[in-house]
Structure 1
Amino acid sequence: MPLGRRNCILLGDVLVIIDGALQASAWSVPQMIVARIICGFGIGFISCSVPTYMAEMSIENKERGPEVAFQCIFLVWGCAFVYWVDFGLTRMDNQLSWRFPIALQCTFALLSAIGMFLLPDTPRWYYAKGRLAEGDDVLARLHDCPIDDVAVQEMKEAILASLKLEEKEENKFNIMDLFWDRSDLRVGRRIRISFMILAMQQMMGINLSVYYSTLIFAQVGLSPFLAQLLAAVMNTLFASGTIPLVFTIERFGRRPILMWSAVGLTICMTIFVSMIGAPNPTLTMQWVAVASVIVYNFIFGYGWIGVCWLYGPEIAPLKFRYVGGASGAFGEWLFSFITVFAGGIALQNVGWKIWLWMLLPCAAAVPFVYFMCPETTGKSLEEIDLVFAKESVKNLALANEIIAHQHGHDEKQEVFHREKV
């Protein structure tokens, strides 16, 4: 990523601002289409760079999960906020009802751009580009210590040792590794997982339920007003589910949260399909269906939003972390498009049976996480390299150097925090 994490986010913000201005002022369909394409590129830059930026700016292993989870709270609460704005503007019958919410996105993109303009790039990106002085400066500022502090030096040496390990000829990435990975650091496998975990997230049906929540409640048998109101309530509870993750992701771990929430999603989706697929649904069955899909959204907000956006950038090697972030975003938006585009048509023509398509990935997510996603909780980004590496690599001097420096950094951080307290 030649532009770096920071500049990619800035570029994404600029493109979203241009998109918002074009759409809000649109008087023709072609102008709307061009604006949407620009927006797609902007969101792509932002979504693949922000989790990577957050993960690489963490100086303590236990901070990384809560920080990315906290960022995802704003991501999902934005959706809930927009639903309430849309719900309020449905009472209007003029052009302001659709131009205002489109223009509103420019405000948040502008705030993001101002904030990112004042921030540096990540120390790991500076080190990967050979810009050691800038990496030292950012690392020292993150630790709030001088560059010659032992904790800062331990972290720097662990990052540089990881870079040396990745630069060895046998560890370099080959495009064929995406299909059959034989590299020592399993780079291809890790990029595949980054793609698959967010692709599976979308195949589980979350964006279908978010985009078409009003239609779903209408098909259950509710009035148009009640369907709109419950859609806003459901998306608010979906956003609420992201909050507990901040406090539990490091306590429970990535794998258990993903697996057990997938079990809960499977149960909720099974109940929902059973209720709406019954030949003669009663009023009670309709409300059970409504309750199950609302609980589904809450569980999804907890288990399959923050963890998925964190896991891909976490497991990708430093040199290819931008590839891991990009492949995850590609999986997210590709299958978001497929499920929303095809799902909307299916809801109109197939009805409730489309939810069987969503039920299967919910169940398949459990074995996928169990067999393909090792635990990363409590490990530094450099140590995660060794989680995926072959046994022969784990015994190399560079690998031992990464572990030694990381453990030294952890001990110094403990002392530093005790002294501050």
Structure 2
Amino acid sequence: MYGYDAGVLGGVLLHKPFLDAIDNPTGEWVIPWISSSYSLSACITCAIVATFAFKIGRRGTIILGNIAAVVGSVIQSTANSVAQLTVGRVITGFAIGCISSAVPTYLAETGVEIGDRGPANAFNAIMLISGVPLAYWIDYGCTKSNGQWSWRVPIAFQCIFAIIGGGCMFFLPDTPRYYYAKNRHSEGDDALERLNDAAIDTEQVQRIKREILLAIEAEDEAASSLHWRMFLTSGIIDRTPMKIIRRLCICFWLPMIREWMGSSLMAYYSSVILSRVGARPSLVSLLAGVLNIFFALGCVPLYFTIERVGRRSVLLYGACVMSVLILIFTVLQAVPATTSIQWAGIGIIFLFLFVFGYAWQGCVWLYCSEIAPLEYRHIGGAFTGFGEWLMTFITVFAGPIGLTNVGWKFWLWVLSGNLVAIAFVFFLCPETGGKTLEQVDFLFSKSEFVSGMKKAEQDEEEGEEKRIEERVELKA
């Protein structure tokens, strides 16, 4: 639904029945505003979600988002004015803000084994990006007709995904980590039993529970030194024992840098970019559809390699390859165009989006959900979505203006985003693969704080062993 909703309107924006339904607006900013109001709403929602997500939980936030998606889709598909369409886009943006904040966190916290989180989020990325070409091809087929249904049906179709996604969540619990953080221990025990398919008093389940409770205790102790002013320094000056501020700031900046690297620009305006590169008008629509399929296919290898290669390596080396590709593309746009240069530019775009899908599309959501502290994971998810949608709004609103007024030099801005990504990951992002969510806490912790927590964990384990021995002696 996420990908479908992001891409479905782009395929009908210039469709005559659609323009007729909203009275053929002539203002220069009307169509860009309709497109970008969705991203702006999602951005603001992510900031608001941070204030209430911990109260209703990961599950409740996802359900709320899906309900809003149905409402927003119905309003959009029945629109007969720019105002009604914009209201529908804003409500749907609210829905995606909720979902994009909560789903990666839910997936990360329900992984039973350490190696579950990577494939789960990689599969999530595959499904997410697959929604974009699905929306494109449904638009492509429906807009061959000139009836009003030709644009209303594709927009209403997203309700199906929202009903399925939201309906399934009614039958699932929230995550054990959320329940324990809220002191709802009986529900946390029940969720742990269901996830591990084992009784709560087995050693495996008890070990997981101890790690979660110790992490909560450590974060409570570290949180006592937090102050809102620390966010103004973007986490550079962070003296908290577990670097909570720095980790939340990474959650904001990493997805924002990703959008700076050109993801949404190429996904939203693939037809415009291909036509400017030199593709024939008869080929532009076909190439744009295939390009979006390539983007989705790039996410597939991540499912099989993320746990072996590691998050940091995927992000770092992916950014290096993408920097080289976008540099070549920029040079090709700067030199006089020939048929060979035009096709080379098109080929570079295909390669770039394939690598992007593998290296940065799913891995960013996974990494941010892993480094966010347990009791602040809802804030980390909100920060991730806020950074994502803030830069998406800027890109979608200003991208076509920049391409029109600046020409090939606009790609230097995209290139700079890829270079910044290399430096950011190299200096600020440690590897989180192969560790539990609780162990990730100690990657950012001061050495003396880690030692104290490990001793507390050891004492807890020794105490548990003594209690077991005492029960055995009593039975004897």
Quickly name the TM-score band, shorter chain normalised.
Answer: over 0.9
Name the residue aligned to 1:87. 140
- How far off its partner does 1:277 sit? 1.8
Name the residue aligned to 2:31. none
Name the residue aligned to 1:2. 55
- How far off its partner does 1:264 sit? 1.0
* 1:53-202 pair list within 5 angstroms: 53-168=106-221, 171=224, 173-178=226-231, 179=233, 180-202=237-259
Structure 2 stretches lacking a partner, 5+ long: 1-53, 465-476
Aligned residues: 405
Q: Does 1:392 align with 2:448?
A: yes
Structure 2: distance between partners of 1:134 and 1:399: 28
Structure 1: distance between partners of 2:413 and 2:226: 35
Structure 2: distance between partners of 1:22 and 1:355: 37
Q: Does 1:39 align with 2:95?
A: no
Counterpart of 2:443 in 1: which secondary structure? helix
Equivalent of residue 65 in structure 2, options 3, 7, 12: 12
Name the residue aligned to 1:294. 350
Name the residue aligned to 1:250. 307
Q: Does 1:317 align with 2:370?
A: no
Equivalent of residue 76 in structure 2, options 17, 23, 28: 23
8 Å CA contact 2:222–2:241 kept in 1: the answer is: no
- The one-character-per-residue Cα deviations of 1:80-117 (angstroms, maximum 9, x if unpaired) are 21111122233222222221111111110111011111
Structure 2: distance between partners of 1:303 and 1:404: 40
1:266/1:127 Cα in 2 relative to 1: closer, same or farther (>3 Å)? same
Structure 1: distance between partners of 2:447 and 2:400: 47
1:70/1:244 Cα in 2 relative to 1: closer, same or farther (>3 Å)? same
1:290/1:170 Cα in 2 relative to 1: closer, same or farther (>3 Å)? closer
Equivalent of residue 353 in structure 1, options 395, 409, 413: 409
- The one-character-per-residue Cα deviations of 1:141-165 (angstroms, maximum 9, x if unpaired) are 1000111111000000110011111
- The one-character-per-residue Cα deviations of 1:362-420 (angstroms, maximum 9, x if unpaired) are 12211110100000000100011110011121110456618997xx9xxxxxxxxxxxx
Structure 2: distance between partners of 1:301 and 1:227: 21
- How far off its partner does 1:200 sit? 0.4
Which residue identity lines up with residue 163 of structure 1 in the other structure?
Answer: I
Equivalent of residue 219 in structure 1, options 276, 293, 296: 276
Which residue identity lines up with residue 137 of structure 1 in the other structure?
Answer: D
Q: Identical aligned pairs, as a percentage?
A: 44
Which residue identity lines up with residue 120 of structure 1 in the other structure?
Answer: P
Q: Does 1:326 align with 2:382?
A: yes
8 Å CA contact 2:68–2:91 kept in 1: the answer is: yes
Which residue identity lines up with residue 48 of structure 1 in the other structure?
Answer: S
1:399/1:388 Cα in 2 relative to 1: closer, same or farther (>3 Å)? farther
1:404/1:393 Cα in 2 relative to 1: closer, same or farther (>3 Å)? same
Name the residue aligned to 2:317. 260
- How far off its partner does 1:273 sit? 1.1
Which residue identity lines up with residue 310 of structure 2 in the other structure?
Answer: G
1:333/1:397 Cα in 2 relative to 1: closer, same or farther (>3 Å)? closer
Which residue identity lines up with residue 410 of structure 2 in the other structure?
Answer: I
Q: Does 1:383 align with 2:439?
A: yes
Structure 2: distance between partners of 1:167 and 1:243: 39
Name the residue aligned to 1:203. 260
Structure 2: distance between partners of 1:402 and 1:61: 21
Which residue identity lines up with residue 207 of structure 2 in the other structure?
Answer: E
Counterpart of 1:389 in 2: which secondary structure? coil
1:139/1:116 Cα in 2 relative to 1: closer, same or farther (>3 Å)? same
Counterpart of 2:433 in 1: which secondary structure? coil
Structure 1: distance between partners of 2:162 and 2:414: 32
Query: After the TM superposition, which of the residue ranges 27-36 and 196-205 deviates more from structure 2?
Result: 27-36
Name the residue aligned to 1:418. none
1:403/1:84 Cα in 2 relative to 1: closer, same or farther (>3 Å)? farther
Structure 1: distance between partners of 2:227 and 2:160: 41
Counterpart of 2:183 in 1: which secondary structure? coil
Structure 2: distance between partners of 1:351 and 1:209: 15
1:96/1:135 Cα in 2 relative to 1: closer, same or farther (>3 Å)? same
- How far off its partner does 1:250 sit? 0.5
8 Å CA contact 1:269–1:359 kept in 2: the answer is: yes
Counterpart of 2:257 in 1: which secondary structure? helix
Name the residue aligned to 2:285. 228
Name the residue aligned to 1:419. none
8 Å CA contact 1:158–1:403 kept in 2: the answer is: no
- How far off its partner does 1:256 sit? 0.7
Which residue identity lines up with residue 389 of structure 2 in the other structure?
Answer: W
